[in-house]
Amino acid sequence: MSEIKFDDNSLALVQSIIKRYPEGKQKSALLPLLHLAQAEFDGWLSVPAMDYVASLLSIKPIEVYEVASFYSMFNLKPVGKCLIEVCRTSSCWLRGANEIVDHIGNKLGIKPGETTADGKFTLKTVECLGSCGTAPMLQIGDKFHEDLTFDKVDSLLDEWSNKTEHSKYLDVNTFRKN
């Protein structure tokens, strides 16, 4: 478990993000900051992590909880090192998304919503990710893996079983520092 405190680099980014909004409207920075917190603190938002974000923005913790619980990209429980999100809405379903989900589930021995016993993988099914023309698809961190085949899925699973870092949607360099 990492300590719940951003390093200097992240804190500088926090200040630069807050400056994007008018005086007194710093609450607008809440979503970007929650993303940053999730990326920095093990891929999920613990209560201390959310309280920390509240303190950075001078807002009440409840204002953070109610937002964090609304959006599907925020994990309120720990997830595996590699969070696999498979789209199974219409266009992906038409091109075999259910079979991809089953294939991954069988390989990892888990069902959608579950994490492997070794904490490596979490399998999640999600709704349309805007990749319908390259279906079936899945997302890991900020990467889209498209036109999936069983082979492609297998090599992704291999690749990720050897990694030690968490899958992340963003890092401190995603946003411009203005």
Is the distance from CB of 31 to CB of 21 less than 8 angstroms?
A: no
Dist. CA 65–CA 111, nearest whole Å: 28
- Only one of the segments 15-23, 29-37, 75-83, 122-130 lies at the binding site for ligand FES (rule: CB under 6 A); that segment is 122-130
* Binding partner selected for residue 137 from ligand FES, another protein, none, CB under the kind-specific 5 to 8 Å limit: ligand FES
- Taking CA atoms, 48 is separated from 45, 51, 72, 85, 177, in Å, by 8, 5, 19, 26, 26
By CB under 6 A, is residue 87 in contact with ligand FES?
A: yes
Instruction: Indicate the DSSP class of residue 115.
Output: B
DSSP-derived letter for residue 95 is T
In the complex, minimum distance from the CB of residue 130 to ligand FES, in angstroms, rounded to a whole number? 6
Q: Which residue has the tokens 């008018």?
A: 22
Q: Which is nearer to another protein, 115 or 139 (CB)?
A: 139
Q: Where do contacts with another protein occur on this chain (CB under 8 A)?
A: 20, 22, 25, 27-32, 34-35, 57, 59, 63, 66-67, 70-74, 88-91, 93-96, 98-100, 103, 126-136, 139, 142-144, 148-152, 169-170, 174-176, 178
Of 166, 1, 177, the closest CA to residue 81 belongs to 166
Closest to another protein by CB, 53 vs 108, is: 53
The answer to whether the beta carbons of residues 54 and 64 sit under 8 Å apart is yes
Q: Which of 45, 79, 92, 140 binds ligand FES (CB under 6 A)?
A: 92
Q: In the bound complex, what is the minimum distance in angstroms from residue 142's beta carbon to another protein?
A: 4
Quote the strand ranges of 4-81, DSSP E: none
Q: Return the number of the residue (10 or 134) whose C-beta is nearest another protein.
A: 134
Chain residues that interact with ligand FES, rule: CB under 6 A: 87, 89-92, 128-132, 135, 137
